[in-house]
Structure 1
Amino acid sequence: MFESTPQYLWVYLACILLIIELFTGYTVLLVLGVAVALAAAVAWFGGSIIWQLVTVVGACAIFIPVAIHFLGMRFKPNHKRD
């Protein structure tokens, strides 16, 4: 029923992270889900486990600060001083 190849394991993990993000609203889980989905794409094209892990770490290193920055801008109150 379930395949146990690395591509499918990454896809299963991405789906689990994205479903948990839908129920909790933690944007970091969305970013992790996207990073894991990118690792699934690398695995699908035949990348080794090292390249899959480099993809996850690299995507998280780029996407998490960007998500935090945009969330900070979104929820930052706009106070005007007189």
Structure 2
Amino acid sequence: MSLIMGLLFGALAGFIASFIMGEKSGWIKNIILGIAGGFVGGFAFDILGLSASGQFGSLIVSVVGACICIWLGRRLF
């Protein structure tokens, strides 16, 4: 059950980040962006000395990280 919730949570974070960044993407890309965004956002927040707690805080971290991933993807490719 937690795997399904993680995928849905990742898809939501990826969808929000895609909407913010004006990116057109499908469900699979949104899930990957959301999951990768969780790692990237967690790393970025650690470097900045920030922390987030709870589900809403984790969603914010994932969305910020996914936005960073989209931005980096645009710069590299």
TM-score, structure 1 normalization: 0.39
Structure with the largest fraction of helix: 2
Higher relative contact order (CA 8 A, sep 6+): 2
Q: Which has the larger radius of gyration?
A: 1
